Amino acid sequence: MALRSKLDLIAVGNLNIDLIGRIKGLPARDEKLLLEEFARCPGGGAANFAVACSRLGLKSGFIGCVGSDEFGKEILADLERENVDKTHVKIVDAPTGLVFALSTPGGDHFSVAYRGANLFLKPEDIDDDYIKKTKLLHASSVTPEVALAVGSKAEKYGLLASLDLGAELAELKIGKLLEIIELFDICFMNRRTYKKVFRGRPSKRGILKNFPEGLEVLVVTMGARGAMATDGKSVASGPPYKVEVRDSTGAGDAFAAAFDVVWLRGGDLEKAIRYALAGAAIKIQRLGAREGLPTMEELEEFVRTHV
């Protein structure tokens, strides 16, 4: 119990095994191409976020589900190695989630997910006694019901809450989606989700106009155009750091983790965006969602040396 009360953050969401390949380009119909590189490693957006925050010096916990199979055991062992508390990870009678991902040298990224055991995560799994003394709750790619539970309980206990929109939430009608978003303090979305939700491409003028009530910060990632964030009054933006892209799997999770850690420690929008872009830049140079995730010292050194 002492460990639980000292957690800085708890992430809620998916636990997967990632099957990742690098390929020159997408095959045409009935064409077979050979992978240039392949990796099998633990993943899942919320889990990547928890691991990234742990490496950045925060005490992290996790709420989610794995299957009672070898992949599930592999994921639990990895969480333990990364010092992420796994006492609230349920083992269920279902296959562990899988993600098949392909990256190209040009930075394109394609993925197909099988949710599997992740579908067993329910609102009642957000244990009040477990979460109420933490500082930050983060949800990534969760169902609307779980997102509502996370946001509502964060509001109840006065916790900072961040949400990384996934496919499930992006399909909601705008009114229902905004009801969920407004329960959170920080919301991350990529440019495609922004366009779907707000019917336009992200811009400094547009992000201010569309800023949802109740949020502290809205953050939009834009791939080769970098990222921007607003608190409803001002906008901070930055281009991506110029590095060799090896694999972009988990780049958004690395970005969100660095942003939240800086914000949690009292940073401003400009610093949070700069460090978030740096976290993503460090990650995309390695194959696998968690390979190369930096410590805070490594992140600060990267920012200092890449002005």
Residue 200 lies in a domain: yes
Backbone torsions φ then ψ of 271, nearest 5 degrees = -65, -40
CA distance 204 to 285: 29
Residue type, 191: R
Domain carrying residue 214: 2-14+44-91+120-305
Mean pLDDT of the region 216-224? 93
Residue 152 lies in a domain: yes
- Number of domains the chain contains: 1
Position 67 scores a pLDDT of 98
pLDDT of residue 2 exceeding 70, the answer is no
Residue 241 lies in a domain: yes
Position 213 scores a pLDDT of 84
Residue 137 lies in a domain: yes
**Least reliable range by pLDDT among 77-81, 110-114, 127-131:** 110-114
In terms of pLDDT, which residue wins out, 47 or 247?
A: 47
Q: Residues 146-183: pLDDT tens digits? A: 999 999 999 999 999 999 998 789 888 888 999 999 99
Position 229 scores a pLDDT of 96
CA angle 286, 287, 289 (to 5 degrees): 95
Work out the end-to-end distance of the chain between its first and last CA atoms, rounded to an integer number of angstroms: 44
Residue 191 lies in a domain: yes
Question: 106, exposed or middle or buried, with CB in 10 Å at 0-12, 13-18, 19+?
Answer: exposed
Residue 230 lies in a domain: yes
Position 120 scores a pLDDT of 97
Residue 247 lies in a domain: yes
Q: Which two tokens stand for residue 202?
A: 């992200």
Q: In what order do the strands lie in the sheet with 16-22?
A: 37-43, 16-22, 97-103, 109-114
Q: Residues 31-90: pLDDT tens digits? A: 888 998 899 999 999 999 999 999 999 999 999 999 999 999 999 999 999 999 999 999
Position 4 confidence tier, pLDDT thresholds 50, 70, 90? very low
Position 1 scores a pLDDT of 35
Position 110 confidence tier, pLDDT thresholds 50, 70, 90? confident
Position 24 confidence tier, pLDDT thresholds 50, 70, 90? confident
| Residue 211 belongs to domain with CATH number | 3.40.1190.20
Residue 115 lies in a domain: no
**What value does the mean pLDDT of the chain take?**
92
Q: Which two tokens stand for residue 125?
A: 């799994």
Mean pLDDT of the region 228-232? 95
Could you tell me the pTM of the whole model? 0.94
Mean pLDDT of the region 211-240? 93
Q: Residues 178-195: pLDDT tens digits? A: 999 999 999 999 998 899
pLDDT of residue 5 exceeding 60, the answer is no
Virtual CA dihedral for 5, 158, 65, 76, nearest 10 degrees? -40
